Amino acid sequence: MHFFFSILAVFALLAAPTLAGIRSDVKDLFSREMDTLDFAKVKIEVDRMIDPSIDGEAQLAQIDQMVTTIRTMLPPNADSWEKVEAIRRYIYQPGDWNNGHAFSYDHDDPYGLDVHNKLLSDYMQDRLGNCITMPFLFIVLGQRLGLDVIPAMAPLHVFVKFTDDRGVTHNLETTSGAGRTRDQHYRNLLPITDAAISNDVFLTPLSQEQSVAVIAAIVVEDLIQKQRYHDAMAVADILLDHYPQFVYIMVKKGTAAYHLLRTEFHEKYPNVQDVPEDQRPYLEYLQRVNQYTFEKAETLGWRPVQR
């Protein structure tokens, strides 16, 4: 174990400025008052970790202008469903309110494999969204209109849980006009096991803290795309501290460990016997992380999605 800790100590020394910066930024997301959480500010703050050129104040002003326009579309004393309908109309129907350019699903990158397509600024500019930008824009607008809206998870998917004035909660599928959708619809289309339901992995309204973790998942994705695998694992740990059932991030952490195994061992040493003795504890550590994260996710009910 002496060699293992020596390797980690050297890595920590070399990577400290970069790793400490991104870890601190992500940790700070959870330091705010969750009861008064502003989803718009959190999403913009996270997006600026990916693209620091984003003008956060200008984007907030744009969101506020959208809300102002939606308010003009509401009848006097509008109830919650009338507010939902006004948001639907503003987003999905072309008209003067959106300069004849409605928002729609990005069929070229539906999963947001290009991380930049998951930025709210990108969605607001090109109006092509995915299952991250579309639900969170709806939530941002709904929150400012006083609606009870919160995200919920399905495999590789986020949708909106909306509670109306009568206290009844509904699913709104924002990738399809924000229409009402039953839980069974997701179970018919996606690998959602009974275990995933009982363990609150999928289809359950998220807490504010869990919602922040979901918003910040893009940071892990970006780090993996940049081949910053150690940083990705560290940030994944922060998110899992706040959302232990976040199986998507468990799998991402395991994937980052796999990439380190590939680049630092599989591509360098044809056989395990060729690995230098002082690097074997590190090899075993990565193997344990890779195996444990996938096994833990499967125990909670996660299954891979066939794309």
Per-residue pLDDT, 10: 42
Q: Which two tokens stand for residue 104?
A: 């729609």
162 and 64 belong to one structural domain: yes
156 and 251 belong to one structural domain: no
- Residues paired with 205 in a beta bridge: 152
Q: Which two tokens stand for residue 86?
A: 């006004």
pLDDT tens digit string along 66-106? 999 999 999 999 999 999 999 999 999 999 999 999 999 99
Task: Report angle CA 239, 242, 245 to the nearest 5 degrees.
Answer: 85
Q: Taking the model in full, what pTM does it have?
A: 0.91
First to last CA, the chain: 41
Say if 140 falls within a structural domain. yes
181 and 217 belong to one structural domain: no
pLDDT band at 19 (very low <50, low <70, confident <90, very high): low
Query: How many domains are there within the chain?
Result: 2
Per-residue pLDDT, 306: 82
85 and 160 belong to one structural domain: yes
Q: Which two tokens stand for residue 281?
A: 């504890």
Exposed (0-12), middle (13-18) or buried (19+): which is 98, by Cβ within 10 Å?
middle
Cα separation, 131 vs 16, in Å, equals 34
> Which of 187, 185, 171, 157 lies closest to 247 in space, CA to CA?
157
Residue 4, pLDDT above cutoff 50: no
Per-residue pLDDT, 5: 42
For all residues of the chain together, what is the average pLDDT? 93
Q: What percentage of the chain has pLDDT greater than the value 90?
A: 91
Per-residue pLDDT, 109: 94
What one-letter code names the amino acid at 274?
D
Residue that finishes a domain, picked among 125, 155, 190: 190
Other residues' Cβ atoms within 10 Å of the Cβ of residue 55: 12
109 and 46 belong to one structural domain: yes
Q: Which of 15-19, 178-182, 250-254 is predicted with the least confidence, judged by mean pLDDT?
A: 15-19
Cα separation, 241 vs 247, in Å, equals 12
Domain range enclosing 2:
1-31+208-307
Task: Report angle CA 58, 208, 237 to the nearest 5 degrees.
Answer: 95
Residue that finishes a domain, picked among 131, 157, 190: 190
Cα separation, 40 vs 22, in Å, equals 20
214 and 137 belong to one structural domain: no
Q: What is the arithmetic mean of pLDDT over 147-174?
A: 98
Q: What percentage of the chain has pLDDT greater than the value 70?
A: 93
Supply the CATH number for residue 176's domain: 3.10.620
Phi then psi dihedrals of residue 129, to 5 deg: -120, 180
